[in-house]
Amino acid sequence: MLPSSINLVMNNGIVNSKRIHREQKVSVKDLRTFVDTIPTPVIMLDYSTRILAYSKQWLAFFGLTEDIHRDLFIFHFKTLELEESIKVVMDTGDSIIIPAFEYSEGKKLKYLHVKITPWVSAENDIGGVMIMLEDITTLKEKERALQEHNNELKQFAYITTHDVKSPITNISSFLHFLKEDKSIEDPSSLQAIHWIEKSIDKANAKINDLVKVIEQREASVLLEKIELVPLIEDLKRSITVDELSLNDYLKVEFIGEPYLMSSQKQLITILENLLTNGLRYRKNTNDLQLSLIIDTTPKTQTIIRVKDNGVGIDLSVHKERIFGMFKRANDVIEGNGLGLYLTRQACEQLKGKIDVLSTPGKGTTFLVYLPK
């Protein structure tokens, strides 16, 4: 005979085991109740894929009215073709998510977000699976419409840069012959020729601007190690505004390493536009101060500062406007209103951001934050 203390422990163990077993069974029952009441298409299957429970929305989604408890899942829903995925979930115990599952309902194609998850039996084994559906057909249709819209914009851009540019080029050629014609002496005619030429230049500039926007949007992001010294030296030699060379005015400082991991095309777009603005929006040439500081020491990001002492920006009026396409904060100084738009676009392609600090009449500082 076992000692009473051992008997007590064993009896307590049996009682606890029965209680746990009962609670586990109750939890399965609660799970079925949950499925019955959840306001989304959900179905619960046992290990043999017989139907244990389902929500009203499940029946409504498939247009069913009869009770389908204990029926085989495949009997009613063979067209879903989820048998292989269900088997994988039961074998591995891992959930499966199918983000854009195509489902044909008659002649209509639907898109579903499907999640298949296992549920555990009272014996702590996989008792079956739960299948949850979300109809994302409307979302996919919107995505498709947006893609078609983008394709139309690309086609429009192609037409603009090719079909429209060709007649402008022809007009420019004919205009050249008129300018060379010495017999044209009438002041009004000469003035007309002058303004036609100006209009052609503006049209070509706008077309080239559109090409820049399209090329920037289509540009791929290729991360590589970029040596900053030679890159910036090239920019200093190449950037000029009103016959002022960036090389004569820019002061450069590196904090940390003089290189970074980034995409060179986007980085050049950022630096080129900000530095060009520093020259363009100056107060006067004699007192022009322009600096570039690149700080690679923060752990999570590189900080680029471009600071000038130019005309400044009234940020209370123009802070959001200056980053828009063809938007400008200063209509006196010539510009196309595209540089800061392209700069922000390049920052976003690199998963970074741009900010601006400015005081009218005292200058502007642009801050670019690029993640490492």
Beta carbons within 8 Å of 370's beta carbon, 6+ residues apart? 260, 262, 301, 302, 304, 347, 350, 351, 352
List 363's β-bridge partners, or say none: 359
State how beta strands 250-255 and 290-295 pair: parallel
The domain total for the chain is 3
Q: Which residues contact 66 (CB under 8 A, 6 or more apart)?
A: none
What's the residue count for the chain? Answer: 372
* Residues 161, 111 share a domain: no
Give long-range contacts, CB 8 A cutoff, 24+ apart: 155-160.
Answer: 157/210, 157/211, 157/214, 160/207, 160/210
| In a shared domain, residues 243 and 272 | yes
Residue where one domain finishes, among candidates 184, 218, 252: 218
What's the rounded mean pLDDT across residues 5-10? 40
**pLDDT band at residue 295 under the 50/70/90 scheme:** very high
Q: Is 301 helix (H, G, I), strand (E, B) or coil?
A: strand
Region 345-349: mean pLDDT is 92
Task: Examine the domain organization and report whether 76 and 197 are in the same domain.
Answer: no
Residues with Cβ within 8 Å of 76's Cβ and at least 6 positions away in sequence, in order, are 51, 62, 64, 68
Torsion sign (Cα): 313, 315, 318, 321: positive
The Cα–Cα gap between 220 and 208 comes to 20
Residues 103-144 have pLDDT tens digits of 887 778 899 999 999 998 777 789 999 999 999 999 988 888
* Residues 131 and 149 both lie in one domain: no
Amino acid letter, 280: R
Asked if 307 and 363 count as a contact pair (C-beta separation under 8 A), the reply is yes
Domain enclosing residue 166, as ranges: 141-218
Are 109 and 198 in a shared domain?
A: no
**Residue range 177-201: mean pLDDT, rounded:** 89
Whichever domain contains 320, its CATH number is 3.30.565.10
Flag whether pLDDT at 67 surpasses 60: yes
Tell me the backbone φ, ψ of residue 284, rounded to 5 degrees.
-155, 160
Residue-level pLDDT at 328: 61
pTM: predicted TM-score of the whole model, two decimal places? 0.54
| Predicted confidence band of residue 10 (pLDDT cuts 50, 70, 90) | very low
Residue of 268, 205, 206, 260 whose CA lies nearest to 234: 268
Are both 249 and 160 inside the same structural domain?
no
Q: What is the CATH number of the domain that holds 120?
A: 3.30.450.20
Q: Residue 228 — very low, low, confident or very high, per pLDDT cuts 50/70/90?
A: very high
CB atoms within 10 A of CB 310: 25
Separation CA 191–CA 365 (nearest Å): 42
Q: What is the pLDDT of residue 34?
A: 83
Among 169, 185, 218, residue at a domain's last position: 218
CA distances from 206 to 165, 202, 218, 270, 294 (A): 11, 6, 19, 20, 32
Residue 332 — pLDDT band, cuts 50, 70, 90? low
Clarify whether residues 12 and 128 are in a common domain.
yes
State whether 169 and 302 are in the same domain.
no
Q: Of 219, 220, 213, 203, which is closest to residue 324 (Cα–Cα)?
A: 213
Tell whether 245 and 328 lie within a shared domain: yes
Q: How far apart are CA 318 and CA 366, in angstroms?
A: 14
Domain edge (last residue) among 135, 168, 189: 135
Confidence class of residue 3 from pLDDT cuts 50, 70 and 90?
Answer: very low
Edge-first strand listing for the sheet containing 363-371: 250-255, 290-295, 301-308, 363-371, 353-359
The encoded tokens of residue 248 equal 């004569």
Do residue 227 and residue 214 come from a single domain? no
Assess whether 148 and 162 both reside in one domain.
Answer: yes
pLDDT attached to residue 5: 44
Band of pLDDT at residue 339, cut at 50, 70 and 90: confident
> Domain check: are 234 and 118 in the same one?
no
233: pLDDT strictly greater than 80: yes
